[in-house]
Structure 1
Amino acid sequence: MATTNQPGGQRTSGGRMKAKSSRRARSVRTELQLLRAACWLFSERGFHGTGIRDIAETAGVAVSGMYYYAASKDEMLEAVTRRVMDLLMSSSEETLRDIDDPAERLVVLMAVHVAFHARNPRAAKVADHEFQALTGDAREGIQQLRDAYEGVWAETLRAGVRDGVFQDRGSVARLALLQMATGIAHWYRPDGELSIPQLCERFGDMALSLMGASRAGRLLQVHDLTMPDPDLLLERVELSIEPRNEPSHT
């Protein structure tokens, strides 16, 4: 049971709990500031063009304080990339749940990939390109996450070929589909011609076309299938470390 404040400045157990909770909240906020700063700088200058001091100054954190969260900029890059891959995998798995049809699974995978790259362009660019600067166990760990994510795509394409829904385009099809959508991070603008849900539909149609998707001799399009709910999809791909604006300390 929590005690009340006592004369002479004795602290209560409730007060200690509140103090610890406050410190944890500050710690989480500081970590987010650092990851957003790292994400911004890595996407602007590249990993090799960014120093540990640059990240600390951009986040408004003392360099000495930053070492509480990461011992090096390599650890910051690994953390950014891991969060990207974890969210891509979890949002794909959630949205694919209870969907067995290969054509619908492909459309869902493409929608998640497109929405993620359109909504989180800086983090996506860091994970897609800068991760190659990692070495050793960090590089191997991230590569395993990438392989697992691509494995979901590969199995979906194989299932479609087995079911006679897709043409067999070989492994190059998976690479082409992923690379096609990955480029969105470089050119998509929210105030452009298409909204993210519209973009997902366009890319879904292109994915089906690339795989020659058909049933009973008729080519399939997205409007023949069930698309994920746009609001739910955007909620699932929201990445907390994506810097929505330029950090104020740059």
Structure 2
Amino acid sequence: MVHEAIELFAARGFHATGIADICRRAELKPGALYYHIGSKEDLLWVILRDYTVTALEGAEKIRRSSDDPKRKLNALIEFHVETIASHRLEVLIQMRDADALTGEHAEELQTLRRRVQACWQDVLDEGRRLGQLRNTDKTIVNALLGMLNMVATWYRPDRGESAEATAAEISTMVLRGLSNDLRDT
């Protein structure tokens, strides 16, 4: 049922997708969705939470690693692009429909997203403290994550695009732009 909802929300949008559409696609009776999930918003919450937790767990692991900040930044970019490539539809849903969440769901998603941003900010701040990176304020983190999330709108593996190659190109560009020593990139 979650997979079917992801496909429908990505194609039509949260607001244009009805419970009946999801149940029809999942070959369930309408009451089954309410029994298993609760509401259409709860289903959206599960989709966005699961993707964001995946992004957060990877970012936290990289932030805690003993690598130097440039390697961590490279690893963050690689992980984020590869995660987006494997969760492209969820990212598209988050970009378009996250504001459909209300109350506790909206607050919890925002908390998860802030934690992801904090991982990136910590890595950039560490790089600045060690003299490896310049200008690492929150605008840079927001710009980086915004740019990376947009990969979901154009990345297509069926056209021969590789998540690894895409991540490598983006990482080179970012590191050249933020590095204090261009010889290191």
Give 1:59's aligned residue.
26
Amino acid at match of 1:137: E
Question: Which residue of the other structure, out of 48, 67, 75, is the alignment partner of 1:81?
Answer: 48
Decide which moves more: 161-170 or 151-160.
161-170
Report the counterpart of residue 190 of structure 1 in structure 2.
Answer: 157
Offset at residue 219 of structure 1 (A):
3.4
- 1:121 corresponds to which letter in structure 2? R
Q: Does the aligned pair in 1 maintain the 2:51–2:87 contact within 8 Å? A: no
Structure 1 unaligned regions, length at least 5: 1-33, 222-250
Structural RMSD (CA): 1.6
Aligned with 1:151 (options 118, 126, 130): 118
Instruction: Report the counterpart of residue 220 of structure 1 in structure 2.
Output: 184
Structure number with the bigger relative contact order (C-alpha 8 A, sep ≥ 6) is 1
Identity fraction in percent: 30
Query: Which digits, 9 at most, give the CA deviation of each residue in 1:195-223, with x for residues without a partner?
Result: 11111111111221231x14xx44332xx
Name the residue aligned to 1:177: 144
SS at structure 2 position matched to 1:50: coil
* Residue matched to 1:69: 36
8 Å Cα contact 1:38-1:55 kept in structure 2: yes
Q: Aligned partners of 1:163, 1:95: CA distance in 2, in Å?
A: 17
Out of 61, 73, 90, the residue aligned to residue 123 of structure 1 is 90
Aligned pair count reads 185
**What runs of 5+ residues in structure 2 fail to find an aligned partner?**
none
Kindly report which structure 2 residues correspond to 1:34-45, keeping only aligned pairs within 5 A, or say none: 34-45=1-12
More helix by share: 2
Q: Which moved more, 1:52-61 or 1:142-151?
A: 52-61
SS at match of 1:198: helix
Distance, in Å, in 1 between the alignment partners of 2:90 and 2:65 is: 29
Q: How does the TM-score come out when normalised to structure 1? A: 0.70
